[in-house]
Amino acid sequence: MTEPTYAGLLLEKRGHTAIVTLNNPPAHTWTDHSLSALTRLVQDLETDRDVYALVITGAGEKFFSAGADLKLFAPTATGTDKATAATMARRFGEAFETLAAFHGVSIAAINGYAMGGGLECALACDLRVAEEHAVMALPEASVGLLPCAGGTQWLAWNVGEAWAKRMVLLGERADAATAQRIGLVDEVVPRGQALERALALAEKVGQQSPSAVRACKRLIQGARHGSPQQTLVAEREAFIDLFDTADRSEGVSAFLEKRPPQWKNG
């Protein structure tokens, strides 16, 4: 059976981890086709019960992703093409919201510039590892636009309102050290080591029950929207629901029998 292909993206699987490499040289800008491909790719991974983690990075050493190609939004002889803008905004939203909802743990290995939609892609992931030369920004307002793929929301959730305003309203860039200090990235590693570190983190995911990880991720993300009272009730209900899974039975048995668990992801 022929493996599916995804425009502008490369997919590799190592054990329980899927590695997605952004591959639209030179700056790995997003297109209508690559955004649709990312949506489809993540949806395909959702059906693969052997995939517990997803690592996303950029090909080469300079760019994670420079975001959208601004040529798409250039004025035309008949004026601004709002139809193209609407299509791209919808594609960005679909792609990154699908990525954010991925059932396992997603990790961005930021190996260079992550600008605009590139940073928003990383923000849609659960964790972010940046190489020491990486630079991150949401510069859309400097060209009369705004981050429309979760940037204003996910950035504020991660770094707080003040730094979100500095980056979005003032156009400030964050180098890797600053990004770690403000909580935009979780770790900073030397040049060329982001993917290796991200894979090491992904390996830890395989030690956890996939069923429990899936439930915990929903609860953690749900805290962004609901009140603690609502989420605490959902937490208790999810705990009880795990008693219907094979993973719960296997996890407890493995602990008591002093052996590594063999997860069934169900």
Pairing of strands 63-65, 17-22: unpaired
Q: Are 260 and 248 in contact (CB under 8 A)?
A: no
Opening angle at CA 119, ends 118 and 124, nearest 5 = 100
Side-chain half-sphere exposure of 210, counting CA atoms within 13 A: 23
**In whole angstroms, how far apart are CA 123 and each of 69, 118, 128, 152?**
19, 9, 8, 10
Tokens representing 263 are 């997860």
Q: Are 15 and 206 in contact (CB under 8 A)?
A: yes
Pairing of strands 17-22, 105-110: unpaired
**In whole angstroms, how far apart are CA 64 and each of 58, 74, 113?**
4, 23, 6
Tokens representing 115 are 């600008």
**In whole angstroms, how far apart are CA 262 and each of 2, 200, 202, 254?**
29, 19, 17, 8
Kindly list the catalytic residues.
120, 140
Torsion of CA 246, 250, 251, 254, to 10 degrees: 180
Q: Are 189 and 129 in contact (CB under 8 A)?
A: yes
